[in-house]
Amino acid sequence: MENNQPIEFDEQIQRALEKENLDEFRTHFLELHPYEQAIFFMEKEHDDRMKIYSYLSPEEISEMMEHIEIEDIDPYITEMDPRFAAMVFSEMAADDAVDVLNEMEKDKVASFLTMMDKEASDEIKELLHYEEKTAGSIMTTEFISIYKTQTVKDTMLQLKEEGPDAETIYYMYVVDEDKKLVGVLSLRDLIIADDDQLIGGIMSEKIVHVSVAADQEDVAQTMRDYDFLAVPVVDFQQHLLGIITVDDILDVMDEEASDDYSKLAGVDVERPDVNAFASAKKRLPWLIILLFLGLLTASLIGRFEDTLDQVAILAIFIPLIAGMAGNTGTQALAVAVRGLATGEFGTEGKLKLILREAGTGLITGTVCGVLITGVIFVWQGQIYLGILVGISIMATLVVATLAGSLVPLLMYKLNIDPAVASGPFITTINDIISILIYFGMATAFMGLLI
């Protein structure tokens, strides 16, 4: 976060804090947007933060905490008085409280739930039961549901009464006597309707909803496709359980993007406060796998020792061919993973992707192959060596591009996260392929090279 507030204003609040002037601090601090409050708060030392806790109510702290990254909140909650922290959780939106509690140790969570007021605790416990990264885990139960037998006038009264505590009032969800979702009503349609009209007569029965067990990435895709501000969450019997709002989906999209990026690099997302041992523990599995794949590459080169002995100059082009294979494979991988993540590919789309990448590999391979053939002929004066390296690069780029697109598609088909087909993995696989192609062709046409 960056502090966009004027320095003078920050200094004014800081002076009030240092002088322990409660009224002046509250006057200036509460003029800030909660996001700006969070920036100011996070820049303070422990002693100043302790004063802030004593100057603000649990409700005011909760509004500020909702603008701090989830993974960064734990240290602040831990340093609060436990009962005060429990009151902060009680004031937070239930879905936001659940996000924070999911980052904490189970004994801490149990302790806070015990100290919270019963209503807030029960609501949070209900959401904690859902599996992480599902619709149930990110939904909020603070929404307005109405019956189709209500009048517009009664609904307006209900809206005024429940609106202050609801996550959003732009949509109201219509249920029947069994609490099953039967319709949706926008605030606009409610306002322009006559007071004595029944909700059933003005609601829309075309409802897009998501299952409580749906993956959060699929929910984000649905909301993006339909440009929704909120989407209802239902169980298998269509009972309305909660809603997911666009602010929660923005957090999901940011989380998924970070997760995919880290997997493309062959690592897990790591927090800044993670120590070196924990960081190494997460990275080692990938590195060990890649180490053994690298040994396989080395053993392949060893098998062509006789070829290298006869034409030693072949060795200087190994990094060139392997590097080109890795680069083009990673490019194709990025295109495929992005398309799968955004849902752009249907069955026909995947086939088009494969054909397009094959064509792209052929064109780029041909251009690079012709170019390197000419360069080697001018540089080394050996036309056959130039042709060998050129054809090897052309074949390598075609195969590497196809591998970069096919591997994530295959993993997606096997219900494995395509991002696991990371850059280092594709690069190493393509190294092996490129070595086989290069030395295989060199061995076959050895007579022309000697």
In a domain? residue 41: yes
Question: Are 162 and 126 members of one domain?
Answer: no
Reading the block at residue 193, the tokens are: 């309707």
Q: How many residues does the chain have?
A: 450
Separation of alpha carbons 441 and 393, rounded Å:
11
Helix ranges, 240-382 (H): 246-264, 276-303, 305-310, 318-342, 347-380
Torsion of CA 136, 142, 146, 151, to 10 degrees: -160
Per-residue pLDDT of the chain (450 residues; tens, 9 = 90+): 445 555 566 788 888 888 889 999 999 899 999 999 999 999 999 999 999 999 999 999 999 998 888 878 988 999 999 999 999 999 988 888 888 888 888 888 888 988 998 888 888 888 888 888 899 988 988 899 999 999 999 999 999 999 888 888 889 999 998 899 999 999 999 999 999 999 999 999 989 999 999 988 889 888 888 888 899 999 989 999 999 998 888 878 777 666 655 555 554 544 555 566 766 676 666 667 767 766 776 776 666 666 666 666 777 777 788 778 877 877 787 777 777 666 666 555 677 878 888 888 889 889 988 998 898 888 878 888 888 888 888 888 888 888 888 877 877 777 766 655 555 667 777 778 888 888 787 777 776 665
Same domain, 296 and 445: yes
Contact 219, 197 (CB under 8 A): no
Query: Are both 347 and 387 inside the same structural domain?
Result: yes
Does residue 269 form part of some domain? Answer: no
HSE at residue 335, side-chain half, CA atoms within 13 A, is 20
Final residue in a domain of this structure, among 111, 138, 165: 138
Is 2 among the domain residues? no
What CATH number has the domain bearing residue 174? 3.10.580.10
> Is residue 267, in this structure, part of any structural domain at all?
no
Same domain, 295 and 429: yes
What is the pTM assigned to this prediction? 0.57
Residues 171 and 115 in one domain: no
Q: Is 236 helix (H, G, I), strand (E, B) or coil?
A: coil
Domain housing 420: 276-449
Domains of the chain: total: 3
Looking at the fold, whether 149 and 132 belong to one and the same domain comes out as no
Distance CA 272, CA 114 (A): 31
Q: Which residues contact 10 (CB under 8 A, 6 or more apart)?
A: 3, 40
Look up the CATH number of the domain holding residue 14. 1.25.60.10
Q: What gap in Å lies between CA 395 and CA 243, rounded to an integer?
A: 52
Is the same domain home to 280 and 397? yes
Q: What is the CATH number of the domain that holds 427?
A: 1.10.357.20
Amino acid 165: pLDDT: 83
Residue 268 forms part of a structural domain: no
Look at residue 149 and give its three-state secondary structure. coil
- Asked if residue 131 is part of any domain, the answer here is yes
Domain end point (choices 138, 162, 181): 138
Task: For the chain, report the end-to-end CA distance as a whole number of angstroms.
Answer: 63
Indicate the DSSP class of residue 74.
H
**CA 336 → CA 259, 394, 403, 407, distances in Å?**
16, 21, 11, 9
The CA–CA distances, whole Å, from 89 to 41, 67, 199, 226, 260 equal 18, 14, 35, 32, 30
Roughly what angle, to the nearest 10 degrees, separates helices 106-115 and 82-91? 80
244 and 118 in a common domain = no
Does 149 lie in the same domain as 127? Answer: no
| Residue 4 CA from chain centroid, whole number | 26
Q: What is the pLDDT, as a whole number, of residue 392?
A: 85
Residues 441 and 337 in one domain: yes
**Is residue 68 situated within a structural domain?**
yes
Six token digits for residue 159 = 């809206």
Q: Does 55 map to a domain?
A: yes
Annotate 77-114 with DSSP letters as a single string.
HHHS-HHHHHHHHHHS-HHHHHHHHTTS-HHHHHHHHH
The residue out of 232, 261, 290 marking a domain boundary is 261
Residue 132 shares a structural domain with residue 175: no
pLDDT at residue 243, as a whole number: 93
pLDDT value for 447: 66
Cα-based distances in Å from 441 to 319, 334, 372, 384: 17, 29, 16, 12
Same domain, 178 and 298: no
